[in-house]
Structure 1
Amino acid sequence: MELLEQLERYVPWNEQEETDRRELLRRLYSGEQLYTRENASAHLTASAWVVSPDRQKVLLAYHNLYGSWAWLGGHADGEQDLLAVALREVREESGVQTVVPVTPDLFSLEILTVDGHEKRGRYVSSHLHLNVTYLLEADPDQPIRRKADENSAVGWFTPEDALAASSEPWFRERIYPKLIEKARHFPPR
């Protein structure tokens, strides 16, 4: 399903999601190129809130760029199927090979600020990640591995420990508590 259609029928969880949904729709309807990083000020990303089948664990990676434990995800880089992007990023960033959507629908929406930084020896200006999040499931007994150029560790946490492990205030205060609460509405297998 096309992203515009998904966003049109998405029911926001809170005011943050409603506000971000309106801005995502505005930008998409304007024809702004958002699927590639050629738009240096804002581009689409897809994140994954990866839970265990019993919903007792969450998969995080220690992201080198942010110096914090965080969810997995990445840039669309021209791909318009953002669920496929989220699935690919989980496999690449964690080594987990069998990961499936709990639902193919959007799980959460966020517009995230990214401070200017160095990446692969090149300066990247501050910009926005127009992010959609998917709820994915994986077995924590699968092998995991870090992706050295992006993270220095990967691990499973209880939802509460995942929240405590993040050192990013916005995520600790607003994003991860929302994801933890929303995931409770999807019963374990």
Structure 2
Amino acid sequence: MRYQLIDELEAYQPFNEQEEKDRRLIINALKTEDDIFLRKNLLYHMTASAWVVNKTRDKALMAYHNIYNSWAWLGGHADGEADLLKVALKEVEEESGLTNISPVTSKIFSVEVLVVDGHMKNKEYVSSHLHFNVTYLIEADEKEKLVVKEDENSNLSWFSLEEAVEASTEPWLKENIYVKMNEKLKRMK
């Protein structure tokens, strides 16, 4: 599966310079880091995120993440799983309670290297590290009941695409990732 992910990333057409440079960094790490899919790697963790949209693709689902104190996309660590689409779908279910979800496409929607500042999780300090992240576009039923995962988030809400960007208090994600994903989504219509 690792080699399939490398092939997918090599075939991926970057949207901008950020994606091109981050894609190359992720591919290099996948080729050189044996434990990149595990949290025991103290420098890099492979992660998968989901830009969850409704069926009309005019709203995005955001979670209020406790660690970051911000509205953000859904996603998480690979934890040994190299099928990152599977990880993204699992994380959406775990973090939102949604079960009526499906990928708009199995292809990668976005790539990014994310800096994670040191923080406390489960009463234990986690050192600063990088998330080598692959994002998938996931469609969900906005009428389905949302369930907060209290150990990770304190709220869930559907926002218009523009409101989703504005709801975030993380400037880099807001300006470089969420705006980019909305632009990519609009170009798909």
Q: Which TM-score bucket, shorter chain as reference?
A: over 0.9
Match of 2:85 in 1: 83
**Which of 163, 166, 173 is the aligned partner of 1:164?**
166
- 1:8 maps to amino acid: E
Match of 2:115 in 1: 113
Q: Distance in 2 between matches of 1:32 and 1:81?
A: 16
With normalisation by structure 2, the TM-score equals 0.97
Secondary structure of the residue aligned to 1:7 is: helix
Q: Distance in 2 between matches of 1:130 and 1:97?
A: 26
Match of 2:95 in 1: 93
Secondary structure of the residue aligned to 1:24 is: helix
Structure 1 unmatched runs, 5+: none
- 1:83 maps to amino acid: L
Matched, 1:17 2:30: no
Q: Distance in 1 between matches of 2:101 and 2:153?
A: 19
What stretches of structure 1 move > 4 A for 4+ residues in a row? none
Secondary structure of the residue aligned to 1:38 is: coil
Shift of 1:186: 2.7
Q: Distance in 1 between matches of 2:86 and 2:29?
A: 22
Q: Distance in 2 between matches of 1:17 and 1:57?
A: 23
Q: Give CA-to-partner distance per residue, 1:45-77, whole Å, 9 cap, x none.
A: 000000111011100000000000000000000
Match of 1:68 in 2: 70
Q: Distance in 2 between matches of 1:168 and 1:109?
A: 18
Match of 1:35 in 2: 37
Secondary structure of the residue aligned to 2:147 is: coil
Q: Distance in 1 between matches of 2:148 and 2:33?
A: 37
Matched, 1:136 2:138: yes
What root-mean-square deviation, in Å, do the aligned CA atoms of Structure 1 and Structure 2 show? Answer: 0.9
Q: Distance in 2 between matches of 1:75 and 1:106?
A: 16
- How many correspondences in the alignment? 187
Sequence identity (%): 56
Q: Distance in 2 between matches of 1:7 and 1:56?
A: 27
Match of 2:105 in 1: 103
Q: Give CA-to-partner distance per residue, 1:130-183, whole Å, 9 cap, x none.
A: 000000000100110110000000010000100110000101111100000111
Q: Distance in 1 between matches of 2:37 and 2:174?
A: 27
